[in-house]
Amino acid sequence: MQAISIGLLGLGTVGTGVVKIIENHQDKLMHQVGCPVNVKKILVQDLVKERTVKVDSSLLTVNPADIIDDPEIDVVIEVMGGIENTREHLLNALKMKKHVVTANKDLMAVHGSELMTVAHENGCDLFYEASVAGGIPILRSLADGLASDRITKMMGIVNGTTNYILTKMSQEGLAYEAVLKDAQRLGYAEANPASDVGGLDAARKMAIMASLGFSMKIDLDDVKVKGITEVTEEDLQYGKQLGYTMKLLGIADREGDKVEVSVQPALLPSSHPLASVHNEYNAVYVYGEAVGETMFYGPGAGSLPTATAVVSDLVGVVKNMRLGVNGSTSITPQYEKQLKDDGEVNSKYFLRLHVHDEVGVFAEITSLFSNHDVSFEKILQMPLKEKGLAEIVVITHQASLSNYENILMELRDLPVVKEVKSSYRVEGSVSV
């Protein structure tokens, strides 16, 4: 088999790693795919920028057509980011019968279905392992390793930036803003970190993962999203005191034919395997009816870890080329999407209230909960510095989301309640 030629779109953090792995692992690649793999052209914005990897300047171009229209290029690796222009480039590449590997979750969460259809129509592969959880081979594990099972739950810490922030706030008592700056300096955060801290980056990854794991077309709009911007030091400390750890958690849950996909700060029992995933690390907990509990752990971002996933996808493409089976994977979801309504989403909740410290307050709150058939699992009550006020922290037993939201609404109207300070889902009980 003659050498495989790659066109690389982007030579930033991930692109640099891709070039390094292709160079440094040439023997291994040769052994895996049976032919040399060469980077023929690289699309960048700035031809004279200093790079952290040595590449011949003749490889660089600012013209996408130098890659898309080159008949000698077999595979396009997209690591430039962005959505609309990038979609155009990849659609054109696929129509030119080039296989595509991408790390772009922003693009795949929105246009993945269209791109996969066009890939299939053109007999091309479109692989996107690096788009979810960087170096963790989670998509291949869902598609191949667990192909025989029926997955009912996936919970993921799939954003490194927010996990880094929550870890540093919780373990070292550092302030949110300072840790966010640190995460940006270390290169974990997106160019606009609002998508990290607001939960959108994790939501994109959960939409991709849930679509694959549940074989259902889950759109980004189907994912309920809440970020970590309102999480306070007090919430983290009370959580700890009650035996829980706060994580920005992606939850994809299936009961019968119905699913729920969300991203939110949630409390996990400190003994849960996801609770010990710290700093910028990612992990995905997967429950399958036959396999039971599994967990995938590793670096969710960074140059070489992410590039490992990209180049492994490239190996998959070239192996398929040898077998002549590119573009043959079924892309039609097995199931019609059916989303749970709020009455079908069940969970425990953490609730922190400021109340007037008077006789009968507790009875009023308890009776409001019992009117909605929700009982308490744990309760803390503390006096506050502000005279005449007390703080109540509650962990409920299981409640439906609609029931719980009615409780919150009624609590806000209760004269004895000064303020509902915070409320989080509590996950990780064994009832998966």
Residues with catalytic function:
205
Question: Which amino acid, 349?
Answer: Y
Determine, following the binding rule CB under 6 A, whether residue 428 of this chain makes contact with ligand NAP: no
Distance in Å, CB of 24 to ligand NAP, minimum:
18
Contact mark string toward ligand HSE, 89..128, x via CB under 6 A: ----------------------------------------
Six token digits for residue 233:
């030091």
Determine, following the binding rule CB under 6 A, whether residue 44 of this chain makes contact with ligand NAP: yes
Q: Which of 22, 73, 76, 79 binds ligand NAP (CB under 6 A)?
A: 79
Alpha carbon separation from 131 to 25, 140, 309, 336, 367 (Å, rounded) = 22, 12, 9, 24, 47
Determine, following the binding rule CB under 6 A, whether residue 13 of this chain makes contact with ligand NAP: yes
Distance of CA 416 to the CA centre of its chain: 40
Cβ-proximal residues to 349 (8 Å cutoff; 6+ apart), any chain: 394, 395, 396, 399, 404, 423, 424, 425, 426
Q: Are 198 and 231 in contact (CB under 8 A)?
A: no
Interface size with ligand NAP, residues (CB under 6 A): 24
Q: Which of 26, 45, 232, 241 binds ligand NAP (CB under 6 A)?
A: 45
Determine, following the binding rule CB under 6 A, whether residue 160 of this chain makes contact with ligand HSE: yes
Six token digits for residue 304:
């070489």
Q: Which of 125, 196, 253, 357 binds ligand HSE (CB under 6 A)?
A: 196
Distance in Å, CB of 230 to ligand HSE, minimum:
19
Question: Which amino acid, 233?
Answer: E
Phi, then psi, of 217 in degrees rounded to 5: -85, 95
Q: CA quadruple 41, 42, 43, 49: dihedral positive or negative?
A: negative
Among ligand NAP, ligand HSE, none, the one that 201 touches (CB under a kind-dependent 5 to 8 A) is: ligand HSE
Q: Which of 104, 262, 347, 403 binds ligand NAP (CB under 6 A)?
A: 104
Scanning residues 123 to 142, which ones bind ligand HSE (CB under 6 A)?
A: 134
Determine, following the binding rule CB under 6 A, whether residue 265 of this chain makes contact with ligand HSE: no
Q: Among residues 195, 221, 218, which one has the least CA distance to residue 207?
A: 218
CA dihedral 21, 277, 112, 154 (to 10 degrees): 140
Residues that bind ligand NAP (CB under 6 A): 10-15, 43-46, 49, 79-82, 85, 103-105, 130, 134, 301-302, 306
Which residues contribute to the site for ligand HSE (CB under 6 A)? 134, 159-161, 188-190, 196, 201, 300-301
